[in-house]
Amino acid sequence: MEYNVPGKKVSMKKLFEMAKQDGFEGSDALVNWNKWRRENGKMPSCTKIDKDNNERIAKNAGYASLKEYDKVWLENCGFENRAEYNRLRRWNNGICEPVEFNVDCTSYFGIEQGEKLFVVFLKDIFDDVKWMGGKRDGGIDFICRNPKKEFIDKYPNLKLEKEKDYKIQLRMRCLESGNVGWNFAVEFNDADYFIFVGWDNRNDLNIMHIWMINRYEIIRGRQLWERRKMIITDNSVGLETFLQYELIDELEKLKTYCNKMKDGESVDT
């Protein structure tokens, strides 16, 4: 089996040989070797590689950035943004119906239920909460301003400050098959904070955990925003690793809002 290394392909055997040359041996050699390479700037950043490729595409087309290139193309086609284009394409091709009518859709779970629920929840934490709406283009779900002093004092590790605005990305997942844990997408998002919510399943909709993590928090040797995804395993080791980020006191309040939603009661936004 061959594995991709920037610029070439090498076998697993060759990777172990390369790790050994830098002083790493044993069953965990590759894990420790990759961690050492990241910490010492010897491993190219996936984010930088993607950014450089995108910028090159835009400049070759005569634009300052890929965002500008994409914006002009969409406007010329009569679309407000990329999200509107994707919705119409999926509808016309029979891939899916609008999310607000499709209860089996993941976005219905995430947007029509989850994000609206969190508008109410976040108002307990911030003085001002702006929901970007389920049909936005981009990766930010909420812009929240002026965190409340009680919350700041309760969770000093979050390093929130009064009178400041924060971009927040909400990610919600149900337990993976076999109840092994939750697989949250990060995708190099530029949010200031990520809120990860772990549910049991789509039928019962019981919230089990809620974590809030700063984008620059170093987890397993890499800053959170640099990751494509974050996996939290549902066992003592996995949960202990993320215990410092868990909003334990807020969990019961969130469960109350969720139960109202499941009972058909109004959760005003």
pLDDT value at position 113? Answer: 59
| CATH code of residue 171 | 3.40.1350
Is 17 within a domain? no
User: 170, 60, 31: which is closest to 114 by C-alpha?
Assistant: 170
Is 57 within a domain? no
- Taking 50 as the pLDDT cut, the residues of the chain under it are 1-7, 97, 99-106, 108-110, 137
Tokens representing 209? 């955990």
pLDDT value at position 100? Answer: 47
Is 226 within a domain? yes
Domain count, the chain: 1
pLDDT value at position 92? Answer: 66
pLDDT value at position 108? Answer: 46
pLDDT value at position 152? Answer: 94
Is 213 within a domain? yes
Is 239 within a domain? yes
Is 225 within a domain? yes
Domain assignment of residue 228, given as a range: 110-262
Q: Which residues contact 64 (CB under 8 A, 6 or more apart)?
A: 58
Is 28 within a domain? no
Is 133 within a domain? yes
